[in-house]
Chain A
Amino acid sequence: MKIRKLTSLLAATILASGLASAASAKTLVYCSEGSPEGFDTALYTAGTTFDASSKPVYSGLVQFEPGTTNVVPDLAESWEVSDDGLEFTFKLRPGVKFHTTDFFTPTRDMNADDIIFTFERQMDEENPYFSYVEGASWEYFNAMSMPDLVSSIEKVDDMTVKFVLTRPEAPFVANLAMDFASIVSKEYADSLIESDTKSDLNQKPVGTGPFQFVAYQPDAVIRYKAFPDYYAGKQPIDDLVFAITTDNAVRQQKLLAGECHVMPYPNPADVQSLKDNEDITVMEQEGLNVGYLAYNTKVAPFDNAKVRKALNMAINKQAILDTVFQGAGQAAKNPIPPTMWSYNDSIEDDPYDPDAAKAMLEEAGVTDLSMKVWAMPVQRPYNPNARRMAEVIQEDFSKIGVEVEIVSYEWGEYLERSKAEDRDGAVLLGWTGDNGDPDNFLAVLLGCDGVGGANRAQWCNEEFNDLIMKAKTGTQEERTALYEEAQVVFKREAPWATIAHSVVHMPMRSNVTGYKMDPLGGHNFEGVDLAE
């Protein structure tokens, strides 16, 4: 009897929630993977935070064209670069409105003051917002070397802003499409100073983006609604809700139960069953990342390109894709991912050929080689299980008579120790692109400046370095040609074994339309609709 009562109570609850959901058809629920650290995007570096702040709420001067890494206008209608490559002048879009919310009503449209304030608060210690929350550090702005790069930002007139650089840097415009460059309202910031609630800039965001912030309940729910005066037009959905669900198996159950419409990061092993479900659509795209094994090219015998090449030929990438990526990966032949412009598809990957590899090693005079392979202690998009990957490589290398010892350290230690120029062993690591520019991979990870730092192969090749330095300026066509050539040099010299690019899966309910996957890994709901 009691059980029957309980059952009918539950049935009534479900019926009630079912009816209610029918009444609000234009609410899109996204089961996000974690809580945002805050809402002032520039303070943070995590993708989860960007998804909840810059993507829905803010706009930048420029943006990545949805679904690509091409830089297109956003709040700036157009821009010009001076002949010496040092001055970038942006013409702002007129009539752009900031969000009107319960906590702020703007009295003017977006103008040059907002642009200048956005960047000054990240670079000028005198700015009242420079350290407005304890431990404010503007990490991405610093990581992209913006303090050294930007000499001044000038207001030419209300709708024109000029950035003066200390050196020519073509990727600069792509940097401005990044999340840390989201434009905040100076008027709002000033009003918060008056009410002595500056920290609200990080908790109650006001932007010019497609959705305006409504409420956030930590670790539970974030609510947005479509901004009616968005400059590119009101969004097709009325409300956007992030239901924070950290466990991927639970996210999947919620998606299947219709409690959310879109979920990120499914368990790779479950992707096939999701694809088989007719209520679910699974989109997929290569991630803008690369996982690699970096030899220490300063230590014998790895200073010999022939030895490195031989080892590369001994790695069975298909086995790694099957066991480590479980299908959510793609073999990598170049140091940049295939979705990035200038990717040189004409390059042939080293064949998997243990016999030839063994012969090459002998030719190089290397016998009885034993080496260390460093396995990361953490899971990353470009390497979901480094320990397992190291084991596969260990087995592969043993087939050509190379003995491998697998080592690992705590993650912070690992990153630090692997930088040492006299490091013993080859390091498993990877990189996820920041701004879609090849410079962000090739110069950062393989340039001579990075030796002893992000260049884990400690590889300084003059020919390669000249090419990538030349490519820092010029038109995209000119730069593409240089990068394509640089990739040829890379392949010939083999400072890394390029292992894989991840494949990102995005399961969603079949009635979700207009979703575009972001190669940079963000989750953006602009233009997304729900079919009846």
Chain B
Amino acid sequence: MLRFFLYRLALVIPTFIGVSIVAFAFIRLLPGDPILLLAGERGITPERYEQLQAVYGFDRPVIVQYLDYVAGILQGDLGTSLVTKRPVLQEFFTLFPATLELALCAIILAVVIGIPAGVFAAVKRGSWFDQSIMGVALTGYSMPIFWWGLLLIIFFSGFLGWTPVSGRISLLFFFEPVTGFMLIDSLLSGQAGAFKSAVSHLILPTIVLATIPLAVIARQTRSAMLEVLGEDYVRTAKSKGLAPKRIIGLHALRNALIPVVTTIGLQVGVLMTGAILTETIFSWPGIGKWMIDSVGKRDYAVVQGGLLLIASVIMIVNLAVDVLYGFINPRIRR
């Protein structure tokens, strides 16, 4: 198992180098000069332009800039944002807990509803229940997140007044962040009603962000279950007279979960993409919104640093999934 883990870990290194190059090149390949964008209609004199190029270090050859960037990464320095003049790493860690909190809630919701829905659909294959679950899943999968989020806000917040429109907690509550996770910080603050407010703010964004993963997980669980339910050992179990609950829960589901776990791991990437839009709609102060703004302003340091950090998170999660997979299915360890 250790060898398997080390092997997987070794694979991460070339991926990481590749990502660093892609992240560095990506923002530079986009047309648009950050200095000209910063100057806008006001314009800039050629002398001033040269001065600023020197200030930002853009006057050096690209390869020197890249090596400097890599040297920075190795020392844990991802550079300074051109726009806010704050260290990229500091900005990332201020905002990342918000994204993580939302993503965790979303994936939990997707798993908790998606897997049982998939199982029931498979067991009742062809029934109206199956058809409607899969119909809803397909709709969820095809839903444009932006439109869906706005629709929920208008209905639940605007029309019914049940949930707050946006943000992480009511503005009436004010405390310094400790962990960055609002659910935990609101409890730690000891302020009455803070936790409830944090929960109520999480409901809509969690639903929106969970929609696509939920649909994918439900569909994946259903097809994996169907495959397993047709296996010989299930038939054997049935003929032995085992209770259906036991067959489905113990024998079938456990085996069906193997491909589902992979799917859940892959959904982390989807969650990050979804977070960008969800955070924009719900004014959720996470890294999605931060990245979008930075691409618009060609904030080189933030985009390349942010991409690298997000890619690292996805790599770590996938590594964890691979290892988990190894536990569930001993055959792949070899």
A contact set with B: CB distance below 8 Å: 7, 9-14, 16-17, 20-21, 24, 27, 29, 34-35, 37-38, 43, 45, 131, 133-137, 139, 142-143, 199, 202-203, 215, 217-221, 223, 241, 243-247, 249-250, 253-254, 256-257, 259, 380, 409-413, 415-416, 419, 429-432, 434, 453-454
Contacts and interface: CB of A to CB of B under 8 A. Distances in A.
Interface stretch (B111-119, B134-142, B160-168, B236-244): B160-168
Contacts of B34: 412
A257 B174 contact: no
A243 B95 contact: no
B82 interface: yes
Given A137-B52, A415-B40, A10 B162 contact: yes
A394 B326 CA distance: 64
B278 to A, nearest CB: 11
B239 to A, nearest CB: 37
Shortest beta-carbon contacts, A-B, top 9: A219-B285, A412-B36, A410-B31, A220-B285, A133-B85, A134-B80, A245-B283, A412-B33, A13-B200
B165 A250 contact: yes
Give the bracket for the number of chain B residues in contact with chain A. 35 or more
Contacts of A250: 150, 153, 165-166, 281-283
Contact of B86 (A38, A259, A432): A38
Given A17-B193, A220-B283, A411-B37, A10 B158 contact: no
Contacts of B304: none
Contacts of A139: 38-39
Nearest to A430: B41
Nearest to A412: B36
Q: Which of B164, B165, B293 has the most CB of A within 10 A?
A: B165
B250 interface: no
Given A219-B95, A249-B150, A256-B158, A38 B37 contact: no
B204 to A, nearest CB: 11
Given A243-B283, A247-B281, A253 B157 contact: yes
Contacts of B231: none
B48 interface: yes
B32 interface: yes
B327 interface: no
Contacts, number: 167
Given A43-B85, A218-B285, A412-B32, A14 B41 contact: no
B42 interface: yes
26 contacts: A9-B196, A12-B196, A13-B197, A14-B161, A14-B162, A16-B196, A21-B172, A133-B85, A134-B85, A135-B82, A137-B52, A143-B42, A199-B85, A199-B86, A218-B91, A219-B95, A219-B289, A246-B280, A250-B165, A253-B157, A256-B158, A409-B31, A412-B31, A412-B37, A413-B36, A415-B40
Contact of B193 (A20, A131, A241): A20
Given A43-B85, A218-B91, A243-B167, A253 B153 contact: yes
Nearest to B174: A223
Nearest to A133: B85
B197 A17 contact: yes
Contact of A454 (B43, B176, B197, B282): B43
Given A16-B193, A253-B157, A241 B171 contact: yes
Contacts of B312: none
A7 B203 CA distance: 12
Interface in B161-216: 161-168, 170-172, 174, 176-177, 193, 196-197, 199-200
Contacts of A43: 85
Contacts of A429: 41
B283 A244 contact: yes
B170 A415 contact: no
Contacts of A9: 196
B56 interface: yes
Contacts of B98: 220
Contacts of A223: 174
B290 interface: yes
B236 to A, nearest CB: 37
A27 B173 CA distance: 12
A24 B33 CA distance: 47
B203 to A, nearest CB: 8
